[in-house]
Structure 1
Amino acid sequence: MSERMIDTDGVELCTEPFGDRSDPPVLLIMGTGASMLWWEEGFCRMLAEGGRFVIRYDHRDTGRSVTYELGRPGYTGMDLVGDAVGVLDAYGIPAAHVVGVSAGGAIAQSVALDHADRVLSLVLISTSRAVADDRELPPPTEEFVRFVSTAQVDWSQAASVIEYLVEYSRVLAGGRRLFDETAVRDLVRRDVERAHNFAAVRNHDSLPDGEQSREPLSSIAVPTLVIHGTADPMFPFGHGEALAEEIPAAGLLALEGAGHGVDRADWETIVRAVLEHTAADGRGWSLSP
């Protein structure tokens, strides 16, 4: 299949489907600051070959979706929640299995809280709770904080942006596994070259949150699977544990040595878990040997 531009409430978003439309739908939500390319094509095709109709899409200000004036995005984080629902509307999908990574996991939680009838199940990868409470969670690692506070990048130069994103990806990988710089550099280069305006992604750093859902995570009623790397430097493993504890009957799959995101080394494990979780109504998930 190929990319498809959709219009949702006057907002133009770039989407791409994989698989047979008659199969159970799976909506993939990437984190803010990242286009849909970070749901790599090979990963999407593995899900589709497992009998799922998969949709990935570019957030506003990423990839080939609409871009806004730098520093004046004119939308909030909750508008990104609405965009996810708008993608389902554009494809005529009443409800889908929703898979979110990083901030995309927070968007997925908000969709489940505010549009519960549109969600069949949740898979939350490398993320934290979308609704704050009093529980204290572990902070990012010192290396992560050091990088985001000191890294230099010239957003007017593609080469500088590519180097920055490669090094950021290295930090996010967590340091316990071999970092595949060649593969990451190729992905980053394609992402930068494909974007209408690669500097526009900076708008995500200053988004107002808008109204948060007033419902607690304990009100999420759909089957939920939390997948979290034990070496995640942005959201250390305790974030995943907290999510699994706060969402009723949620399962927790620990990826030993994995950092933040969807590492190619974990594709088979994650795909198998998602397929099992989204089978039938998604209940009774287990990771079979």
Structure 2
Amino acid sequence: MTTVDVHGISLGIESFGDDDAPLVLLAGGTTMLSWPDALCERLAAGGRRAVRYDLRDSGESTTADPQAPSYTLRDLAADAAALAGVLGGGPAHLAGIGVGGMVAQVAALDHPGAFSALTLAGTRAVAPGPVDDDLPDHDRATMGRLFARPMPDWADREAVAEFAAGSAEILGDDPAAARATAARVWDRTPGTAPSVQMANQMGMVFSRLDCGPRWRERLPGIRVPTLVVHGRHDRFFPVGNGEAIAREVPGARLLVLKTAATAIPEAAAGEVAEAMLALG
């Protein structure tokens, strides 16, 4: 892991594979660890340079004030394009998961020359907040259970990891995998300030971000090969959101992971990697 400077900020990255291989750039949602190690390794074994990175105010990337970000979704999209340029090798295959998938959609629309292919995992085509009438919103019962839980002591690594495991169980994800990832995120978070730890673990910065203007209506303008990946049992962004993206992006392929929820489980990493490699 290291950091790369792009237009005045630092982005934390981790690279898998040959530096001269075609680039697959994986935008975190919000940290890079949203992308499983096994998937990155499979991409590298398939002849790609897989680089996963932290969005601003998460992981090893520049942290300013996660409670009041001074940048916008379009700035995060510009970060992706700039990072692809710095890493070199021509247009990159851009992949985004969760909120990183929103970044990836806008990046592909605003900076089409920077990207050769697009993968959108567990995301939707509208910003945080009220959802479009034709799209399924967060499952209410699940959200009620999630937000009824008391917050942990964000300065206590083990308490944070256990909280993440409990959240994963409610969402239908693997608690053990979530516990391990949360501990790794905690270790990579700069400092132990509770507000920063909470922002890193929960992606709080994104709920405070200016995500205008809308981009869903622009999706037919995406002209690169696109893969949409979604868990059949995703209760946070139900699968209808992925289905809508796949309908609206010309020629997009939809891959529904039959046993997955919000996260990409390690057992599905090979299937997802093969589908991504098939985009070219």
TM-score with structure 1 setting the length: 0.85
Q: 2:59 aligns with which of 51, 54, 63?
A: 63
Corresponding letter in the other structure for 2:95? V
Distance in 2 (alpha carbons) for counterparts of 1:142 and 1:135: 15
Corresponding letter in the other structure for 1:166? A
Instruction: State the partner residue of 2:159.
Output: 160
Distance in 2 (alpha carbons) for counterparts of 1:184 and 1:214: 30
Quote how far apart the aligned CAs of 1:56 are: 0.7
Quote how far apart the aligned CAs of 1:10 are: 1.0
Quote how far apart the aligned CAs of 1:63 are: 1.2
Structure 1: unaligned runs, 5 residues or longer: 279-289
Instruction: State the partner residue of 1:282.
Output: none
Corresponding letter in the other structure for 2:20? S
Instruction: State the partner residue of 1:51.
Output: 47
Alpha carbons 1:69, 1:200 under 8 Å: kept: no
Distance in 2 (alpha carbons) for counterparts of 1:42 and 1:194: 19
Note closer, same or farther for the CA distance 1:21–1:162 as it changes in structure 2 (3 Å cut).
Answer: same
Alpha carbons 1:113, 1:220 under 8 Å: kept: yes
Q: 2:210 aligns with which of 191, 195, 208?
A: 208
Quote how far apart the aligned CAs of 1:159 are: 3.3
Distance in 1 (alpha carbons) for counterparts of 2:21 and 2:66: 39
Instruction: State the partner residue of 2:176.
Output: 182
Instruction: State the partner residue of 1:284.
Output: none
Corresponding letter in the other structure for 1:129? A
Q: How many residues align?
A: 269
Aligned: 1:18 with 2:16: yes
Instruction: State the partner residue of 2:189.
Output: 195
Q: Which moved more, 1:78-87 or 1:64-73?
A: 64-73
Quote how far apart the aligned CAs of 1:13 are: 1.2
Q: Which moved more, 1:219-228 or 1:136-145?
A: 136-145
Quote how far apart the aligned CAs of 1:148 are: 3.6
> How well do the aligned residues superpose, as a CA RMSD in angstroms?
2.2
Distance in 1 (alpha carbons) for counterparts of 2:82 and 2:161: 31
Instruction: State the partner residue of 2:194.
Output: none
Alpha carbons 1:109, 1:130 under 8 Å: kept: no
Note closer, same or farther for the CA distance 1:138–1:210 as it changes in structure 2 (3 Å cut).
Answer: closer
Instruction: State the partner residue of 1:250.
Output: 252
Q: 1:127 aligns with which of 123, 130, 137?
A: 123
Quote how far apart the aligned CAs of 1:99 are: 1.2
Percent identity (aligned): 36
TM-score with structure 2 setting the length: 0.88
Quote how far apart the aligned CAs of 1:91 are: 1.1
Alpha carbons 1:120, 1:222 under 8 Å: kept: yes
Alpha carbons 2:12, 2:53 under 8 Å: kept: yes
Corresponding letter in the other structure for 2:205? N
Distance in 1 (alpha carbons) for counterparts of 2:217 and 2:46: 34
Corresponding letter in the other structure for 1:186? A
Structure 2: unaligned runs, 5 residues or longer: 192-196
Q: Which moved more, 1:221-230 or 1:73-82?
A: 73-82
CA deviations over 1:239-283 (Å, ceiling 9, x no partner): 1111111111111111112101211121111111111122xxxxx
Alpha carbons 1:59, 1:65 under 8 Å: kept: yes
Alpha carbons 1:121, 1:222 under 8 Å: kept: yes
Distance in 2 (alpha carbons) for counterparts of 1:129 and 1:161: 30
Note closer, same or farther for the CA distance 1:215–1:142 as it changes in structure 2 (3 Å cut).
Answer: closer
Distance in 1 (alpha carbons) for counterparts of 2:53 and 2:216: 27
CA deviations over 1:125-152 (Å, ceiling 9, x no partner): 1111148996511122233211343222
